[in-house]
Amino acid sequence: MCGIVGYVGEKQAAPLLLEGLKRLEYRGYDSAGIATLSNGRFTVHRSPGKLSQLIERLNGSYPAGTTGIGHTRWATHGRPTEANAHPQTDCSGNVVAVHNGIFENFPERKAALQAKGHRFTSETDTEVFAHEVEEAFTGDLFAAVQKATRHLRGAYAVVVSSSGEPGVLVTARSGPPIVLGVGQGENFVASDPVALAPWTRDVIFLEDGDVARVSASSLRIADSEGRERERSTHRIVWDAVAAEKGGYRHFMAKEIHEQPTAVAETLGGKVSLETGELSFRGTLLSPESVAGFDRVLLLACGTSWHAALIGKFLIEGMARLPVEVDYGSEFRYRRPVVNERTLTVGISQSGETADTVAALSEARRAGSPLLAIVNMPGSQIARMADAVFPTHAGPEIGVASTKAFTTQLAVLFLVAAKLRESRGLERGLTGEERKALAHLPAALKETLDLEPQLESLAREYQTARDFLFLGRGLHYPVALEGALKLKEISYIHAEGYPAGEMKHGPIALVDEKLPVVVLAPHDGWREKTISNLREVKSRDGIAIVVTTRQDEEIASLADRVLVIPETIPELQPILSVVPLQLFAYHVAVRRGCDVDQPRNLAKSVTVE
Ligand code: F6R
């Protein structure tokens, strides 16, 4: 949460900072601010609300300076006011700082600094950092930041600048991410390489505990012990255009429509669709390693947790290994039983979700090998894992996850197939699986063609107060995901439920005003799901059914039917979630909601 950007070079910093912040707004949008240094003085502009409000205030008149920092905030300590917006400053305005994270001991440090005469103007923990740097500064900003961080506990990514050492930014991280962007005669700092896409693709990911000094011509990095460090430069292959809306009204719409390509890209290089051979680098899933595992543990949050629930069906069904699924936020507080015979799999779009990171660290401490399914190359989860299976979805900017989910499902299918192979149950993919995978991108395109029907459905039901989503087996997590999409972007209350559980409680909600979305593909659960559909109809509920064939029985029971292409049951969720994404999207648009930046949310949840 919170997006950070910094620039030092020969260009005017302000327009660059604002452009970088635009790309980071998915990390928070409670307030925004920039500070630039010119003639030995900082000019700070801040505004509550979105970045657009700050830009409006500036009204084309950008502050001068070729060194600067910027921030977009997701409020933790202190309300989203102008005073609490970043950059925060020290007593004299000679130090400016931006921060992502939480300094847990800031009340004590604030009191200690106040006792020394420091004057505070905000409720934030970040301001404490600016004053710590002021206190420690004796002409060397790098040394001052090293000293300041020793006084503070918590998770942080900070960038700071001082008029006492112009043309220099110092950044430090412990928890939330920081990347350095390497340019020609200029250098950058950001929370995410996406922010730097227009200017550089060469980035250095800082490690936990690192402190870096960034000037236009040099980069210096030291680790938490103060030892100088060489960190390797990664070339990011995403092009700048991938982080633009590309003619769509919202990132979410673009990302929904990118799913055929994203899934195809994700499969590429991991499987041969001609021979069914699975090519994975590393030894973690080799027959020798897999023989040492007696179960699999899937850890994730939110939408990625829904993917994990589907992963359980895939791995247990295909590889016959027991699977446990947990939320990152719950796992480490329940004294879990994990050891070296457990294969832990972390699933995350951002690779930075604090709860998932902490849960994976816990599993690692217990001796469990770690496999990561992540979308962000070089992210924290990618770096801590023994093996990484990337989802090549490209940047996902819309806060509601869409293409990351379907690509995670594609990878989980391949992981299940690889585990099956290593356990000697099947070599590579079966002919039917190969055919289904080869056809998947086209089937996704066909599913997207249902959009006009979903627009009309959205028009009809946009005013409903509640929704119920039902599914069985692999489609129970799809029901959860459909409900999550709807509630997070349209603010309509929605619940996902296993269809068979409905009679144990939620059926009491069903009346003539309640739309119930029933996932009823032609799989082994169809008959049972149809019984649940009858239960809804006999209580006058409105039934919207997603199925895979023209089906008279379903047609006679449903108020609306959406027929999507049929594939093998293991891959069907990749198709059946698409109409639910489109439905949520169009309901939110009709209700005038901020689709890409729904209230109270942030894309990357880097606080516990
Ligand atoms: C929902 C959504 C969130 C994320 C969750 C985990 O649309 O995007 O629920 O899925 O915050 O994020 P990652 O996958 O980045 O770990």
pLDDT tens digits, 327-383: 999 998 888 899 999 999 999 999 989 899 999 999 999 999 999 999 987 788 998
d(CA 487, CA 248): 22
CB 240 within 8 A of CB 197: yes
Pocket of ligand 1, candidates 325, 350, 376, 607: which has the most ligand atoms within 8 Å of its Cβ, to mutate? 350
> How far away, in angstroms, is 349 Cα from ligand 1 center?
7
User: Which amino acid residue places its CA nearest to atom 3 of ligand 1?
Assistant: 302
Of 443, 525, 456, 526, nearest to 264 (Cα)? 443
Residue 37's CB: how many other CB atoms inside 10 A?
Answer: 26
At 238 the pLDDT is: 62
Say if residue 606's pLDDT is above 70. no
Best substitution site from 191, 255, 304 to test ligand 1's pocket, by max atoms within 8 Å of Cβ? Answer: 304
Burial of 116 (0-12, 13-18, 19+ CB in 10 A): exposed
CA 605 / ligand 1 centre spacing (Å): 8
Mean pLDDT of the region 283-298: 95
Query: What residue has token string 């008149």?
Result: 61
Over the stretch 529-574, which tens digit does the pLDDT of each residue have?
A: 898 999 988 888 999 999 999 889 999 999 999 999 999 999 999 9
Catalytic-role residue among 2, 254, 270, 593? 2
Q: Is 403 a catalytic residue?
A: no
CA of 575 from ligand 1 middle (Å) equals 19
Rounded-to-integer distance, Cα 536 and Cα 553, Å: 14
- Kindly tell me if the per-residue pLDDT of 241 is higher than 60: no
Closest C-alpha to 54, from 92, 104, 91, 17: 17
Catalytically annotated residue among 22, 50, 312, 603:
603
Residue nearest to atom 4 of ligand 1 (CA): 302
Mode of pairing for the β-strands spanning 169-174 and 154-162: antiparallel
Which residues form ligand 1's pocket by a CB distance below 6 Å? Answer: 301-304, 348-350, 353, 356, 400-401, 484, 488, 604-605
Of 288, 268, 581, 595, nearest in space to 444 by CA: 581
Q: What confidence tens digit (pLDDT) does each residue in 164-195 have?
A: 999 999 999 998 889 999 999 999 999 988 89
- 432 conformational bin, left if phi > 0, alpha if psi -120 to 50, beta if neither: alpha
H helical segments located in 268-346:
287-291, 302-314, 328-331
φ, ψ of residue 105 to 5 degrees: the values are -95, 25
Backbone angles phi, psi at 166, to 5 degrees: -60, 155
**Token reading at 85:** 């917006």
Q: Which of 347, 374, 401, 585 should be mutated for ligand 1, with most atoms under 8 A from CB?
A: 401
Q: 305 CA distance to ligand 1 centroid (A)?
A: 8
Distance CA 436, CA 180 (A): 42
Active site residue 528: no
Query: Measured in Å, how far apart are the chain's first and last C-alpha atoms?
Result: 11
Convert the pLDDT of each residue in 396-446 to its tens digit.
Answer: 888 899 999 999 999 999 999 999 999 999 999 999 999 999 999 999 999
Give the containing element (helix H, strand E) for 97: strand 95-103
Ligand 1 atom nearest 485 alpha carbon: 7
Q: How far is the CA of 213 from the centre of ligand 1 (A)?
A: 32
Q: Atom of ligand 1 at shortest distance to CA of 604? A: 15
Q: Which of 303, 399, 478 to probe ligand 1 with, by most ligand atoms within 8 A of CB?
A: 303
CA of 277 relative to ligand 1 center, distance in Å:
31
Interacting residues of 424 by C-beta distance below 8 A, sequence separation 6+: 287
Ligand 1 centroid–CA 301 distance in Å is 6
What pLDDT does residue 239 have? 59
* Separation in Å, CA 376 to CA 73, 250, 379, 381, 598: 21, 21, 6, 9, 22
